[in-house]
């Protein structure tokens, strides 16, 4: 084996490595340009919600929706939540005690939401207005 063959072989390996590196960078750039983050839209699932208009430990709570009172009294799921002590009236707030160790505090003007799985949650009025019709 002569020195010229060794030099040619080394040059071939260096050029091949350079070509592979360039092609790999082009492929990476192309893949990055084509990548778009996934977009998700919420499903149109109807919920039931009431707005807490006023809280008084002696007189109870005043509920409504979009500035209106409830026409037929409180919904059955809310009555059940009070009967089972899932919701407790506090000092100018309501406290939701779910089955998890966390508790949710609901203030005046906040919305109580009854979810599709029967769960109760709270939502601030500005976020509720952005999310629901």
Judge residue 74's burial from the number of C-beta atoms within 10 Å of its C-beta, 0-12 exposed, 13-18 middle, 19 or more buried.
middle
Q: Please answer whether residues 92 and 108 qualify as being in contact, where contact means their C-beta atoms are separated by less than 8 angstroms.
A: yes
Structure confidence at residue 82 (pLDDT): 79
Structure confidence at residue 23 (pLDDT): 85
Judge residue 121's burial from the number of C-beta atoms within 10 Å of its C-beta, 0-12 exposed, 13-18 middle, 19 or more buried.
middle
Q: What percent of the chain has pLDDT over 70?
A: 80
- pLDDT over 70 at 1, yes or no: no
Structure confidence at residue 9 (pLDDT): 84
Q: Please answer whether residues 66 and 53 qualify as being in contact, where contact means their C-beta atoms are separated by less than 8 angstroms.
A: no
The pTM (predicted TM-score) of the whole model is: 0.61
Nearest to 61 by CA among 47, 46, 50: 50
**pLDDT, tens digit, for every residue of 85-133?**
777 777 777 787 766 567 778 888 888 888 888 888 888 999 998 888 7
Q: What percent of the chain has pLDDT over 90?
A: 2
| Bridge partners, 21 (sequence order) | none
- pLDDT over 60 at 26, yes or no: yes
CA distance 12 to 118: 69
Structure confidence at residue 71 (pLDDT): 54
Q: Assign 38 to helix, strand or coil.
A: coil
Binning pLDDT at 50, 70 and 90, where does residue 83 land? confident
- pLDDT over 70 at 36, yes or no: no
Interval 1-5 mean pLDDT: 75
Biggest distance spanned by C-alpha atoms of the chain: 103
For tokens 């009294």, the residue is 73
């Amino acid at each position: 084996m002569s020195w010229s063959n060794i030099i040619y072989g080394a040059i071939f390996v260096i050029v091949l490595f350079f070509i592979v590196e360039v092609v790999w960078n082009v492929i990476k750039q192309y893949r990055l340009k084509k990548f778009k983050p996934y977009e998700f839209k919420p499903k149109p699932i109807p919920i039931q919600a009431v707005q807490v208009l006023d809280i008084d430990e002696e007189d109870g709570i005043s509920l409504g929706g979009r500035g209106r009172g409830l026409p037929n009294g409180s919904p059955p799921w809310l009555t059940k939540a009070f009967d089972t002590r899932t919701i407790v009236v506090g000092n100018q707030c309501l406290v939701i005690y779910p089955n998890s160790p966390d508790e949710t505090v609901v203030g005046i003007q906040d919305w109580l939401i009854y979810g599709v799985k029967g769960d109760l949650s709270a939502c601030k009025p500005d976020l509720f207005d952005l999310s629901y019709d």
